[in-house]
């Protein structure tokens, strides 16, 4: 490829997959914009990087999430950007909130919430799918786990959207920088209030549990608590909202898929796995080389920042055959969209449960799902792939 690809160009955001295919074919390890990041686009190369945290540090993501114009960002201090052994300490704490028992106990609450939201959607018929269903359900779930006020879900999503685009904001876009700074300040202020309230009045929730947790006899610091809460709130929303939104877009554009799922609801889990692969909400991760390293035959200097194009790897024939086609009932594993190794997403079972419960509540009750003819607008993010809105019309069954 003669010129550097700009991953944030409007045409790439609209449909990155032809560009990814070209990268895999012609330049699997190359520099891209913004910032001259080293893009890794093939499945095998990405897996090699993910399996070697000593040489490819997760701190690469910290650098991308804490640019000079922003300064302190709690997510950039979270376990998402930690290497061993610190990462193991942090993960052991959070894993207590995502045990199979805890997730299973959430299902009745999620199902009741999904049924109510579907009732409201069918009463309106015309609505934004994200605001009506894809957002309020995971917001209710994370609010239930953390003991937060779920009625504030629109604020939660506004904050998490801004956290998710930090690495994509230009150094000259002062207006957007100020918006993100305000959002992080508001989010931090709100979560400080939550922590103070739980210290006074502990409850049966994740925040109260973190306040009483001890590692080697020591309580978590305020900075550690804040980074945990930031990460949980952002990750708890972004993955499921975008999984449901991307899935609904496919169902609107492919009525045959909707018809088949209505006829064979046992295929809903397979549909979810294929959405995760085909239109993955998690599009990229970052790593930092701790020494000179070779990836895919290309030598990279120490302290090179890599962007691992997970969305490309998921469409690589090395990962699954016939990878550019959406195949319902595919038997191949789809774990890569949730990461790999020590950073495999702890919330993956919850995201899958939320998506399954939502579709099981929605699909039997609708005959069709259609959208406006305008081109979808995607969030300008390097790390996530999700719609900014999805106006739809639903026809009851």
DSSP string over 223-246 = HHHHHHHHHHHHHHHHHHHHHHHH
For residue 383, is it within any domain? Answer: yes
Site of tokens 């939502």: 358
Which residues span the domain enclosing 365?
Answer: 10-396
For residue 125, is it within any domain? Answer: yes
Whether 364 and 335 have beta carbons less than 8 Å apart is answered as no
Name the 3-class secondary structure at 34.
Answer: coil
Supply the pLDDT for residue 212: 83
The per-residue DSSP string of 58-125 comes to THHHHHHHS-TTT---GGGGSGGG--TTHHHHHHHHHGGGG-HHHHHHHHHHHHHHHHHHHHHHHHHS
Q: At what angle do helices 222-253 and 136-146 cross, to 10 degrees?
A: 160
Whether 40 and 28 have beta carbons less than 8 Å apart is answered as yes
Please give the tally of structural domains in the chain. Answer: 1
Q: Does the predicted TM-score (pTM) go above 0.95?
A: no
For residue 2, is it within any domain? Answer: no
Site of tokens 């998690």: 282
Supply the pLDDT for residue 269: 94
Task: Give the CATH number, domain containing residue 198.
Answer: 1.10.630.10
For residue 3, is it within any domain? Answer: no
Q: Consecutive sets of 10 residues in the chain, 397 residues long: mean pLDDT of each?
A: 86 96 96 94 95 86 76 77 68 70 88 96 95 92 85 80 76 86 89 92 86 76 85 84 96 96 96 94 92 96 94 92 92 71 73 95 96 89 92 94
Tokens of 302: 């120490």
For residue 342, is it within any domain? Answer: yes
For residue 262, is it within any domain? Answer: yes
For residue 1, is it within any domain? Answer: no
- In the chain, where does DSSP find H-type helix? 10-14, 17-26, 43-50, 59-65, 86-94, 100-124, 129, 136-146, 153-164, 174-200, 206-212, 222-253, 255-263, 268-278, 310-313, 348-362
Name the 3-class secondary structure at 202.
Answer: coil
Between vectors from CA 311 to CA 85 and to CA 55, what angle results, nearest 5°? 30
């Amino acid at each position: 490829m003669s010129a550097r690809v700009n991953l944030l160009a409007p045409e790439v955001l609209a449909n990155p997959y032809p560009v990814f295919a070209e990268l895999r074919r012609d330049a699997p390890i190359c520099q891209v914009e913004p910032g001259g990041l080293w893009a890794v686009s093939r499945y095998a190369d990405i897996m090699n990087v993910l399996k070697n945290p000593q040489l490819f540090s997760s701190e690469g993501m910290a650098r991308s999430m804490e640019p000079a114009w922003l300064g302190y960002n709690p997510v950039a201090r979270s376990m998402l950007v930690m290497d061993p052994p610190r990462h193991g300490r942090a993960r052991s704490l959070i894993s207590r909130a995502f045990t199979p028992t805890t997730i299973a106990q959430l299902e009745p609450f999620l199902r009741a919430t999904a049924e109510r939201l579907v009732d409201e959607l069918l009463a309106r018929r015309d609505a934004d799918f994200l605001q009506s269903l894809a957002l309020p359900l995971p917001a209710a779930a994370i609010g239930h786990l953390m003991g937060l006020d779920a009625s504030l879900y629109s604020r939660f999503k506004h904050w998490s959207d801004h956290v998710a685009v930090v690495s994509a904001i230009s150094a000259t876009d002062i207006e957007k920088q100020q918006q993100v700074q305000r959002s992080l300040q508001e989010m931090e202020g709100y979560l400080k209030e939550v922590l103070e309230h739980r210290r006074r009045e502990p409850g049966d929730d994740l925040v109260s549990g973190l306040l009483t947790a001890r590692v080697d006899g020591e309580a978590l610091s305020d900075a550690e608590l804040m980074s945990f809460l930031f990460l949980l709130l952002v990750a708890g929303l972004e993955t499921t909202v975008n999984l449901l939104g991307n899935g609904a877009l496919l169902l609107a554009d492919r009525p045959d898929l909707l018809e088949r799922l209505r006829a064979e609801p046992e295929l809903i889990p397979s549909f979810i796995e294929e959405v995760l692969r085909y239109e993955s909400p998690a599009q990229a991760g970052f790593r930092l080389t701790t020494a000179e390293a070779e990836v895919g035959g290309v030598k990279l200097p120490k302290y090179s920042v890599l962007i691992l194009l997970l969305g490309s790897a998921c469409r690589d024939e090395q990962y699954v055959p016939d990878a550019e086609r959406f195949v319902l009932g595919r038997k191949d594993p789809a774990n890569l969209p949730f990461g790999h190794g020590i950073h495999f997403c702890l919330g993956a079972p919850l995201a899958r449960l939320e998506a399954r419960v939502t579709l099981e509540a929605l699909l039997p009750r609708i005959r069709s799902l259609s959208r406006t003819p305008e081109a979808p607008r995607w969030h300008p993010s390097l790390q996530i792939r999700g719609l900014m809105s999805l106006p739809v019309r639903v026809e009851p069954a």
